Amino acid sequence: MDETILRVHSITKRFPGVKALDNIDFDLKRGEVHILVGENGAGKSTLAKVILGAYVPDEGEIFFEGQKVAFKTTRDALEKGIAAVYQEFTLFPYLNVAQNIFFNREPRNKLGIIDHRKMERDAAELLRSLNCEYIDVRAYVKKLSVAEQQMVEIAKALSYSPRIMVFDEPTATLSEREVESLFERIHKLKAAGIGIIYVSHRMQEFKFIGDRITVLRDGKKIGTVGINEVSDKEIVKMMVGRDISQVFHRSANVFSGEVLKTETLSDRAGRVKEASIVLNKGEIVGLAGLVGAGRTELAKLIFGVDPIGGGKVYIHGREVNVTSPVHMVKCGVGMVCEDRKRLGLAVNDSVAWNIMAVSLKKYFPRFIIYYNKAYDIVEKYKTQLRIATPDVLRKCKFLSGGNQQKVVLAKWLSMDTDILIFDEPTRGIDVGAKIEIYGLMDKLASEGKSILMISSELPEIIGMSDRIYVIREGRIVGECKRAEFSTDDIASQMLGIVGDAHAS
């Protein structure tokens, strides 16, 4: 079983202005899960796309089963047996499952007419092999859940009888239960001798499914290691390029007094169930959980975006009637959203007005705006957060992700709320900006602000939090203090795996 099916030799790929891949070597064995990891922009997706034939490399060679290959399109790679399951689905919502799986290569009878019966039989067969016989091959894809769609996507990939499958951040859109069943499938595919390349940046997943791990950074290969030979800290160090203690700096803090408390808080949609949490003055509390575990939903309840189904919210010990973000901001709560471009910013509006969006009424309570004063405030936060823009009237969409995030932070800093909810505050931004944001969080906490940080990145949550709550299926399933943090414990609580079942 231990033979190499794919070998990538000194691949270089340039894009205008950047070397996306710089002299990369990579290999994959039969029946192995090889994890490809790195920060955003490290080149992991580019490497996957080169292997899949979506990009033609500028230099280097690819050997598939010992033979040199040069894919020009994804179709070339598919015919050799390299199939992909992308982060975003490529299915047609208004075609049924079978039609999607065999799209454009439907089985035909002698007259050249599509043989629907055979197509559906084959599709059902494929789904059965994935233990997904409950998916109706005649159902429109639109009607399926995200997880079911993912299974159809996998079935489609399998229908090419691949030797290699590439998963590109497959868990980004899945709920935890769906992640579990995906991992189960991956174990099965592995047992069937298929080589798997798994692109991800989620630490907590690696140990559950990976055999080997290759770390990329800035287009360069940092190293390939066996999953059991390294600790999480070492992986992070490889990814980030410096010691974890340099990335996360927390000053020692004394916490005094509860500022936020929720009591058996539930929403109306059943995604948050009786969540009770406490946030003290000067404390950073991490809320760890997978996507869909109810973390963002809990934040939206506290911030007054979604209606409360049951339970209470206390701020500074007083019960608050949570009605709207307008009211919650008055109570001293701010929220940095996960989806920066959709919810955090008006990307077509200027940096200046985005920064002023929340605090405008605080600075100008008498309705009339004085531009000189507004400009001074904007400049102050631009300098303080080192927002790189030639001009504060520039539209936000022309800023980098890190600078956009700083605009969002500036917006809330200028409001100066006591409580800040940070939902995935460092998603999609480069390491430099990340470190700045961590530094800012630490500073805010020592100034007596309280931060509730939601994150699916364990190193971040462990590095920054004073206390961590773990949320799963809408419930708070665990709580631990900084001294007791353990990556394995938190990860297994997030995934709902008890004891040492994850050691496999």
Partner 1 sequence: MKKYLDSIKHSRTIYSFVGLMIMVVISSLTVNKFMTFDNVITIFRQASTLFILSAGLTATILMAEIDLSVGAASGFIGCVSAQFLKADLPVPMVFLLGMALGALVGMLNGFLVGTVKMPSFIATYGVSWVLAGLSVIVMNGAVIFGLPEGFTWFGTGYVGPIPVIVIIACIIVALVYFLLHRTTFGRDIYSFGFNPDAALYSAVPVNRTLYAAFILSGITAGIGGLLMMARLNAADATMGDAYGMQTIAAVVIGGTSLLGGEGGIVGTIIGALLLTIVVNVMNLLGISSFAQPMVVGLLILAVVMFDTYTRAMQEKLIE
What are the residues binding partner 1 (CB under 8 A)? 303, 305, 324-326, 328-329, 335, 337, 342-350, 352-353, 356-358, 360-361, 364, 367-369, 371-372, 374-375, 378, 392-393, 398, 411
Q: Compare residues 171 and 417 and give the one whose CB is closer to partner 1.
A: 417
Q: Compare residues 325 and 478 and give the one whose CB is closer to partner 1.
A: 325
Q: Least distance to partner 1 from the beta carbon of 420, Å?
A: 13
Alpha helix stretches (DSSP H) within 385-416? 401-415
Q: Return the number of other C-beta atoms located less than 10 Å from residue 73's C-beta.
A: 12
Q: Compare residues 349 and 489 and give the one whose CB is closer to partner 1.
A: 349
Q: Least distance to partner 1 from the beta carbon of 369, Å?
A: 6
Q: Least distance to partner 1 from the beta carbon of 95, Å?
A: 29
Q: Compare residues 103 and 398 and give the one whose CB is closer to partner 1.
A: 398
Q: Compare residues 213 and 355 and give the one whose CB is closer to partner 1.
A: 355
Contacts for 128-137: CB closer than 8 Å, 24+ residues apart: 129/158, 130/154, 130/155, 130/158, 130/185, 130/188, 131/184, 131/185, 135/97, 136/97, 137/96, 137/97, 137/98
What CA–CA distances, in Å, run from 448 to 165, 281, 417? Answer: 49, 6, 11
Q: Least distance to partner 1 from the beta carbon of 1, Å?
A: 48
Q: What is the dihedral of CA 65, 69, 74, 76, to 10 degrees?
A: -90
What CA–CA distances, in Å, run from 384 to 374, 413, 414, 483? Answer: 15, 10, 11, 32
Q: What is the C-alpha to C-alpha distance for residues 387 and 409, in angstroms, rounded to an integer? A: 10
Sign, Cα dihedral of 154, 157, 161, 166: negative
Q: Least distance to partner 1 from the beta carbon of 46, Å?
A: 20
- 333, 259 Cβ separation under 8 angstroms: no
Q: Least distance to partner 1 from the beta carbon of 392, Å?
A: 8
Q: Compare residues 291 and 328 and give the one whose CB is closer to partner 1.
A: 328
Q: Least distance to partner 1 from the beta carbon of 345, Å?
A: 6
Q: Compare residues 204 and 389 and give the one whose CB is closer to partner 1.
A: 389
From first CA to last CA, the distance across the chain in angstroms is 18
Size of the chain in residues: 504
Residue labelled with tokens 């070397």: 19
Q: Compare residues 141 and 392 and give the one whose CB is closer to partner 1.
A: 392
Q: Least distance to partner 1 from the beta carbon of 502, Å?
A: 36
Backbone angles phi, psi at 25, to 5 degrees: -110, 145
